[in-house]
Structure 1
Amino acid sequence: MIQEVIVVEGKNDIAAVKRAVDADCIATQGFRLAPREQAQLRQAYEKRGLIILTDPDSAGERIRRWLTKAFPLAKHAFVPKEEATVPGDIGIEQASPDSIRNALRKVRYREWQPVEEFDWADLLTYGLNGSPAAASRRAEVGAKLGIGYANAKTFLQRLNHYGVARAEFTAAVAEGEGAE
Protein backbone atom coordinates (compact mmCIF):
# COMPACT_ATOMS: atom_id res chain seq x y z
CA MET A 1 0.00 0.00 0.00
CA ILE A 2 1.21 3.48 -0.83
CA GLN A 3 1.80 5.51 2.34
CA GLU A 4 0.61 8.84 0.97
CA VAL A 5 -3.00 9.62 0.14
CA ILE A 6 -3.49 10.26 -3.58
CA VAL A 7 -5.52 13.36 -4.45
CA VAL A 8 -7.51 13.14 -7.68
CA GLU A 9 -10.36 15.14 -9.17
CA GLY A 10 -13.31 12.72 -9.16
CA LYS A 11 -14.72 9.34 -8.18
CA ASN A 12 -13.90 7.81 -11.59
CA ASP A 13 -10.28 8.85 -11.04
CA ILE A 14 -10.34 7.06 -7.68
CA ALA A 15 -11.56 3.89 -9.39
CA ALA A 16 -8.78 4.12 -11.99
CA VAL A 17 -6.10 4.60 -9.32
CA LYS A 18 -7.44 1.68 -7.29
CA ARG A 19 -7.25 -0.55 -10.39
CA ALA A 20 -3.56 0.36 -10.61
CA VAL A 21 -2.32 0.43 -7.00
CA ASP A 22 -3.32 -0.20 -3.42
CA ALA A 23 -3.80 3.34 -2.09
CA ASP A 24 -6.20 5.60 -0.28
CA CYS A 25 -7.60 8.43 -2.41
CA ILE A 26 -9.53 11.64 -1.90
CA ALA A 27 -11.39 13.39 -4.73
CA THR A 28 -11.55 17.18 -4.89
CA GLN A 29 -14.65 17.25 -7.13
CA GLY A 30 -12.95 20.10 -8.96
CA PHE A 31 -12.86 23.17 -6.73
CA ARG A 32 -16.02 22.12 -4.87
CA LEU A 33 -14.18 20.64 -1.91
CA ALA A 34 -16.63 20.38 1.00
CA PRO A 35 -15.43 21.21 4.52
CA ARG A 36 -15.41 17.49 5.40
CA GLU A 37 -13.09 16.68 2.48
CA GLN A 38 -10.92 19.71 3.28
CA ALA A 39 -10.48 18.37 6.82
CA GLN A 40 -9.67 14.89 5.45
CA LEU A 41 -7.05 16.36 3.11
CA ARG A 42 -5.48 18.40 5.92
CA GLN A 43 -5.33 15.36 8.21
CA ALA A 44 -3.90 13.12 5.46
CA TYR A 45 -1.32 15.77 4.57
CA GLU A 46 -0.16 16.11 8.18
CA LYS A 47 -0.14 12.39 9.03
CA ARG A 48 0.68 10.53 5.80
CA GLY A 49 1.49 13.04 3.08
CA LEU A 50 -0.25 13.66 -0.23
CA ILE A 51 0.45 12.82 -3.85
CA ILE A 52 -1.35 15.17 -6.24
CA LEU A 53 -2.45 13.34 -9.41
CA THR A 54 -4.74 15.65 -11.38
CA ASP A 55 -5.91 15.39 -14.98
CA PRO A 56 -3.38 16.50 -17.63
CA ASP A 57 -5.54 19.40 -18.82
CA SER A 58 -5.89 23.08 -17.96
CA ALA A 59 -8.48 22.49 -15.23
CA GLY A 60 -6.27 19.82 -13.68
CA GLU A 61 -3.32 22.22 -13.69
CA ARG A 62 -5.40 24.93 -11.96
CA ILE A 63 -6.47 22.41 -9.31
CA ARG A 64 -2.83 21.27 -8.89
CA ARG A 65 -1.69 24.88 -8.34
CA TRP A 66 -4.50 25.45 -5.83
CA LEU A 67 -3.61 22.25 -3.92
CA THR A 68 0.11 23.09 -4.01
CA LYS A 69 -0.56 26.42 -2.32
CA ALA A 70 -2.61 24.71 0.40
CA PHE A 71 -0.22 21.74 0.77
CA PRO A 72 3.27 22.91 -0.23
CA LEU A 73 5.06 19.69 0.79
CA ALA A 74 2.77 17.45 -1.25
CA LYS A 75 4.33 15.21 -3.87
CA HIS A 76 3.36 15.39 -7.55
CA ALA A 77 2.68 12.69 -10.11
CA PHE A 78 1.91 13.32 -13.78
CA VAL A 79 0.28 11.01 -16.33
CA PRO A 80 1.22 12.12 -19.86
CA LYS A 81 -1.69 13.66 -21.76
CA GLU A 82 -1.56 11.10 -24.59
CA GLU A 83 -1.84 8.26 -22.03
CA ALA A 84 -4.94 9.79 -20.42
CA THR A 85 -6.94 10.66 -23.53
CA VAL A 86 -9.74 8.93 -25.39
CA PRO A 87 -11.79 10.57 -28.13
CA GLY A 88 -13.76 13.36 -26.49
CA ASP A 89 -12.35 12.98 -22.97
CA ILE A 90 -9.15 13.47 -21.03
CA GLY A 91 -8.48 12.50 -17.46
CA ILE A 92 -6.89 10.11 -15.01
CA GLU A 93 -9.93 7.84 -15.37
CA GLN A 94 -8.90 7.28 -19.01
CA ALA A 95 -5.34 6.21 -18.12
CA SER A 96 -4.31 2.57 -18.03
CA PRO A 97 -3.18 1.00 -14.75
CA ASP A 98 0.37 0.83 -16.19
CA SER A 99 0.34 4.55 -16.97
CA ILE A 100 -0.80 5.37 -13.43
CA ARG A 101 1.80 3.06 -11.86
CA ASN A 102 4.50 4.61 -14.05
CA ALA A 103 3.47 8.13 -13.01
CA LEU A 104 3.57 7.12 -9.34
CA ARG A 105 7.07 5.65 -9.78
CA LYS A 106 8.25 9.09 -10.96
CA VAL A 107 6.76 11.12 -8.10
CA ARG A 108 8.42 14.52 -7.69
CA TYR A 109 8.71 16.92 -4.77
CA ARG A 110 8.39 20.64 -5.16
CA GLU A 111 11.55 22.07 -3.63
CA TRP A 112 11.43 24.92 -1.13
CA GLN A 113 14.77 26.25 -2.29
CA PRO A 114 14.60 25.71 -6.04
CA VAL A 115 17.87 25.58 -7.90
CA GLU A 116 17.84 27.67 -11.05
CA GLU A 117 19.75 25.01 -12.99
CA PHE A 118 17.88 25.58 -16.26
CA ASP A 119 17.04 28.72 -18.21
CA TRP A 120 15.38 29.76 -21.47
CA ALA A 121 18.57 29.06 -23.40
CA ASP A 122 18.31 25.38 -22.42
CA LEU A 123 14.80 25.18 -23.81
CA LEU A 124 15.87 26.80 -27.06
CA THR A 125 19.06 24.74 -27.39
CA TYR A 126 17.20 21.45 -26.99
CA GLY A 127 14.23 22.42 -29.19
CA LEU A 128 11.79 22.66 -26.28
CA ASN A 129 10.71 26.19 -27.15
CA GLY A 130 10.64 28.32 -30.27
CA SER A 131 10.20 25.56 -32.85
CA PRO A 132 7.19 23.89 -34.45
CA ALA A 133 7.93 20.59 -32.67
CA ALA A 134 8.62 22.19 -29.27
CA ALA A 135 5.29 21.25 -27.66
CA SER A 136 5.57 17.59 -28.61
CA ARG A 137 9.22 17.49 -27.49
CA ARG A 138 8.27 19.02 -24.11
CA ALA A 139 5.54 16.38 -23.76
CA GLU A 140 8.01 13.58 -24.54
CA VAL A 141 10.79 14.88 -22.26
CA GLY A 142 8.26 15.73 -19.52
CA ALA A 143 6.94 12.16 -19.61
CA LYS A 144 10.46 10.72 -19.36
CA LEU A 145 11.30 13.00 -16.41
CA GLY A 146 7.94 12.51 -14.69
CA ILE A 147 7.07 16.21 -14.69
CA GLY A 148 4.27 16.06 -17.25
CA TYR A 149 3.44 18.25 -20.23
CA ALA A 150 3.40 22.00 -19.80
CA ASN A 151 3.82 25.17 -21.79
CA ALA A 152 7.42 26.43 -21.97
CA LYS A 153 7.18 28.74 -18.95
CA THR A 154 5.67 26.08 -16.67
CA PHE A 155 8.02 23.41 -18.04
CA LEU A 156 11.04 25.56 -17.14
CA GLN A 157 9.60 26.15 -13.67
CA ARG A 158 9.09 22.40 -13.16
CA LEU A 159 12.64 21.64 -14.28
CA ASN A 160 13.95 24.04 -11.64
CA HIS A 161 11.45 23.30 -8.86
CA TYR A 162 11.09 19.51 -8.99
CA GLY A 163 14.74 18.61 -8.54
CA VAL A 164 15.59 17.59 -12.09
CA ALA A 165 19.34 17.09 -12.41
CA ARG A 166 21.24 18.29 -15.49
CA ALA A 167 22.39 14.74 -16.33
CA GLU A 168 18.84 13.42 -16.00
CA PHE A 169 17.58 16.18 -18.30
CA THR A 170 20.21 15.66 -21.00
CA ALA A 171 19.65 11.89 -20.91
CA ALA A 172 15.89 12.37 -21.40
CA VAL A 173 16.48 14.80 -24.29
CA ALA A 174 19.02 12.45 -25.90
CA GLU A 175 16.67 9.48 -25.54
CA GLY A 176 13.99 11.49 -27.32
CA GLU A 177 16.35 12.44 -30.12
CA GLY A 178 17.35 8.80 -30.57
CA ALA A 179 13.70 7.86 -31.15
CA GLU A 180 13.33 10.32 -34.04
Structure 2
Amino acid sequence: MIKEIIVVEGKSDISAVKRAVEAEVISTSGLGINDNIINLIKKASKNRGIIILTDPDYPGKKIRNILSSEIENCKHAFIPRDKANKNGNIGVENASPEEIRIALKNAKAEFSDNRQEFTIKDLVYYNIIGNDNASKLRGKLGDELGIGYCSAKQFLKRLNSFGITREELEKAINSIYEIKE
Protein backbone atom coordinates (compact mmCIF):
# COMPACT_ATOMS: atom_id res chain seq x y z
CA MET A 1 0.00 0.00 0.00
CA ILE A 2 1.34 3.40 -0.98
CA LYS A 3 0.98 5.97 1.80
CA GLU A 4 0.60 9.02 -0.45
CA ILE A 5 -2.44 9.67 -2.60
CA ILE A 6 -1.66 9.44 -6.30
CA VAL A 7 -2.99 12.23 -8.51
CA VAL A 8 -3.71 11.35 -12.15
CA GLU A 9 -5.61 12.98 -15.00
CA GLY A 10 -8.60 10.72 -15.65
CA LYS A 11 -10.64 7.60 -14.94
CA SER A 12 -8.57 5.37 -17.27
CA ASP A 13 -5.44 6.44 -15.39
CA ILE A 14 -7.09 5.54 -12.07
CA SER A 15 -7.81 2.04 -13.39
CA ALA A 16 -4.23 1.62 -14.65
CA VAL A 17 -2.72 2.72 -11.33
CA LYS A 18 -5.04 0.44 -9.34
CA ARG A 19 -3.98 -2.51 -11.55
CA ALA A 20 -0.36 -1.72 -10.66
CA VAL A 21 -0.47 -0.85 -6.95
CA GLU A 22 -2.73 -0.67 -3.94
CA ALA A 23 -3.29 3.05 -3.44
CA GLU A 24 -5.84 5.79 -3.17
CA VAL A 25 -6.08 7.78 -6.41
CA ILE A 26 -7.61 11.17 -7.26
CA SER A 27 -8.37 12.38 -10.78
CA THR A 28 -7.96 16.01 -11.85
CA SER A 29 -10.54 15.48 -14.64
CA GLY A 30 -7.79 16.39 -17.07
CA LEU A 31 -7.59 20.07 -17.93
CA GLY A 32 -11.04 20.36 -16.37
CA ILE A 33 -9.20 20.81 -13.08
CA ASN A 34 -10.95 23.40 -10.92
CA ASP A 35 -10.78 24.96 -7.44
CA ASN A 36 -12.81 22.14 -5.86
CA ILE A 37 -10.41 19.50 -7.17
CA ILE A 38 -7.37 21.58 -6.18
CA ASN A 39 -8.77 22.01 -2.66
CA LEU A 40 -9.39 18.25 -2.41
CA ILE A 41 -5.80 17.58 -3.49
CA LYS A 42 -4.47 20.21 -1.05
CA LYS A 43 -6.29 18.44 1.78
CA ALA A 44 -4.87 15.09 0.66
CA SER A 45 -1.41 16.62 0.52
CA LYS A 46 -1.65 17.94 4.07
CA ASN A 47 -2.98 14.65 5.45
CA ARG A 48 -0.95 12.04 3.56
CA GLY A 49 1.14 13.66 0.85
CA ILE A 50 0.56 13.25 -2.87
CA ILE A 51 2.39 11.84 -5.86
CA ILE A 52 1.62 13.59 -9.14
CA LEU A 53 1.59 11.09 -12.03
CA THR A 54 0.38 12.84 -15.17
CA ASP A 55 0.68 11.87 -18.82
CA PRO A 56 4.06 12.59 -20.46
CA ASP A 57 2.52 15.10 -22.89
CA TYR A 58 1.74 18.83 -23.01
CA PRO A 59 -1.59 18.70 -21.09
CA GLY A 60 0.07 16.46 -18.47
CA LYS A 61 2.89 18.97 -18.01
CA LYS A 62 0.38 21.81 -17.75
CA ILE A 63 -1.62 19.96 -15.06
CA ARG A 64 1.61 19.08 -13.19
CA ASN A 65 2.64 22.76 -13.24
CA ILE A 66 -0.76 23.90 -11.96
CA LEU A 67 -0.66 21.41 -9.10
CA SER A 68 2.95 22.02 -8.07
CA SER A 69 2.41 25.80 -8.05
CA GLU A 70 -0.68 25.45 -5.83
CA ILE A 71 0.26 22.58 -3.53
CA GLU A 72 3.12 21.97 -1.14
CA ASN A 73 4.38 18.57 -0.01
CA CYS A 74 4.08 16.77 -3.32
CA LYS A 75 6.23 14.23 -5.07
CA HIS A 76 6.53 13.82 -8.82
CA ALA A 77 6.52 10.52 -10.69
CA PHE A 78 7.28 10.29 -14.41
CA ILE A 79 6.66 7.57 -16.97
CA PRO A 80 8.85 7.82 -20.10
CA ARG A 81 6.87 8.69 -23.26
CA ASP A 82 7.87 5.48 -25.00
CA LYS A 83 6.61 3.43 -22.04
CA ALA A 84 3.22 5.21 -22.04
CA ASN A 85 2.53 4.98 -25.77
CA LYS A 86 -0.05 2.70 -27.37
CA ASN A 87 -0.59 3.21 -31.09
CA GLY A 88 0.39 6.89 -30.84
CA ASN A 89 -1.83 7.52 -27.82
CA ILE A 90 0.32 8.84 -24.95
CA GLY A 91 -0.94 8.38 -21.40
CA VAL A 92 -0.55 6.75 -18.01
CA GLU A 93 -3.40 4.39 -18.97
CA ASN A 94 -1.16 2.91 -21.69
CA ALA A 95 1.76 2.11 -19.38
CA SER A 96 2.28 -1.39 -18.06
CA PRO A 97 1.72 -2.04 -14.34
CA GLU A 98 5.49 -2.55 -14.02
CA GLU A 99 6.26 0.87 -15.54
CA ILE A 100 3.75 2.51 -13.21
CA ARG A 101 5.35 0.78 -10.19
CA ILE A 102 8.82 1.92 -11.34
CA ALA A 103 7.64 5.52 -11.76
CA LEU A 104 6.00 5.55 -8.32
CA LYS A 105 9.03 3.92 -6.67
CA ASN A 106 11.26 6.63 -8.17
CA ALA A 107 8.95 9.54 -7.27
CA LYS A 108 10.91 12.58 -6.18
CA ALA A 109 10.00 15.38 -3.81
CA GLU A 110 10.41 18.92 -5.06
CA PHE A 111 12.43 21.24 -2.82
CA SER A 112 11.78 24.96 -2.75
CA ASP A 113 15.02 26.11 -1.14
CA ASN A 114 16.41 27.54 -4.41
CA ARG A 115 19.21 24.99 -4.47
CA GLN A 116 21.76 25.81 -7.20
CA GLU A 117 23.86 22.65 -7.54
CA PHE A 118 23.72 22.96 -11.34
CA THR A 119 23.95 25.93 -13.71
CA ILE A 120 23.65 26.45 -17.46
CA LYS A 121 27.45 26.01 -17.64
CA ASP A 122 27.01 22.46 -16.30
CA LEU A 123 24.42 21.67 -18.97
CA VAL A 124 26.85 22.86 -21.64
CA TYR A 125 29.72 20.89 -20.07
CA TYR A 126 27.68 17.66 -20.05
CA ASN A 127 26.34 18.32 -23.60
CA ILE A 128 22.78 18.55 -22.29
CA ILE A 129 22.32 21.78 -24.26
CA GLY A 130 24.02 23.38 -27.22
CA ASN A 131 24.33 20.49 -29.67
CA ASP A 132 22.24 18.47 -32.11
CA ASN A 133 21.80 15.51 -29.75
CA ALA A 134 21.01 17.53 -26.61
CA SER A 135 17.25 16.99 -26.75
CA LYS A 136 17.64 13.20 -27.09
CA LEU A 137 20.18 13.13 -24.27
CA ARG A 138 17.86 15.15 -22.00
CA GLY A 139 15.09 12.69 -22.75
CA LYS A 140 17.24 9.68 -21.88
CA LEU A 141 18.64 11.39 -18.78
CA GLY A 142 15.16 12.45 -17.67
CA ASP A 143 14.04 8.82 -17.92
CA GLU A 144 17.17 7.51 -16.19
CA LEU A 145 16.92 10.04 -13.34
CA GLY A 146 13.14 9.72 -13.01
CA ILE A 147 12.50 13.43 -13.69
CA GLY A 148 10.86 13.13 -17.10
CA TYR A 149 11.56 14.74 -20.45
CA CYS A 150 11.54 18.54 -20.64
CA SER A 151 13.17 21.61 -22.14
CA ALA A 152 16.70 22.58 -21.11
CA LYS A 153 15.43 25.34 -18.81
CA GLN A 154 12.97 22.96 -17.11
CA PHE A 155 15.63 20.22 -16.94
CA LEU A 156 17.96 22.55 -15.05
CA LYS A 157 15.13 23.49 -12.68
CA ARG A 158 14.28 19.84 -12.05
CA LEU A 159 17.91 18.86 -11.42
CA ASN A 160 18.09 21.50 -8.71
CA SER A 161 14.59 21.27 -7.24
CA PHE A 162 14.50 17.45 -7.09
CA GLY A 163 17.85 17.31 -5.31
CA ILE A 164 19.74 15.41 -8.01
CA THR A 165 23.42 15.22 -7.10
CA ARG A 166 26.35 15.62 -9.50
CA GLU A 167 27.24 11.99 -8.81
CA GLU A 168 23.72 10.85 -9.79
CA LEU A 169 23.83 12.90 -13.00
CA GLU A 170 27.26 11.57 -13.99
CA LYS A 171 26.21 8.00 -13.21
CA ALA A 172 23.12 8.44 -15.44
CA ILE A 173 25.24 9.93 -18.24
CA ASN A 174 27.74 7.06 -17.99
CA SER A 175 24.89 4.54 -18.00
CA ILE A 176 23.46 6.03 -21.20
CA TYR A 177 26.82 6.01 -22.96
CA GLU A 178 27.47 2.41 -21.85
CA ILE A 179 24.16 1.33 -23.38
CA LYS A 180 25.00 3.18 -26.60
CA GLU A 181 28.37 1.46 -27.08
User: What's the TM-score, normalizing by structure 2?
Assistant: 0.94
Give the aligned residue type for 1:115.
Answer: R
Which residue of 2 is the match for residue 42 of structure 1? Answer: 42
Aligned to 2:164: 164
Cα contact 1:124–1:130 (8 A) shared by 2: yes
Amino acid of the residue matched to residue 140 of structure 1?
Answer: K
Could you say which residue in structure 1 is the equivalent of 2:111?
111
Residue-pair matches, total:
180
Q: How does 1:5-154 map to 2 (within 5 A)?
A: 5-33=5-33, 36-154=36-154
* Alpha-carbon distance in 1 for matches of 2:63, 2:34: 15
The residue that corresponds to 1:178 in the other structure is 178
Cα distance, 1:68–1:34 mapped onto 2, change above 3 Å: closer
Give, in angstroms, the shift of residue 141 of structure 1: 0.9
- Asked whether the 8 Å contact 2:31–2:59 carries over to 1, the reply is no
Give, in whole Å, the separation in 2 of the partners of 1:47 and 1:66: 20
Q: For residues 168 and 105 of structure 1, what CA distance do their matches in structure 2 show?
A: 17
What are the ranges of 5 or more consecutive residues in structure 2 without an aligned counterpart? none
% identity of equivalent residues: 43
Unaligned runs of at least 5 residues, structure 1: none
Cα distance in 1 for residues equivalent to 2:35 and 2:161:
30
> Displacement of 1:35 after TM fit?
5.6
1:2 corresponds to: 2
> d(CA) in 2 for partners of 1:83 and 1:98?
10
Point out 4+ residue stretches in structure 1 off by more than 2 angstroms. Answer: 33-40
Q: Equivalents in 2 of 1:151, 1:34: separation in Å? A: 27
The residue matched to 1:22 in structure 2 has which SS?
Answer: coil
Q: Deviations over 1:17-54 (max 9, x none)?
A: 11111111001012323565344323211111110001
1:75 is paired with a residue whose SS is strand
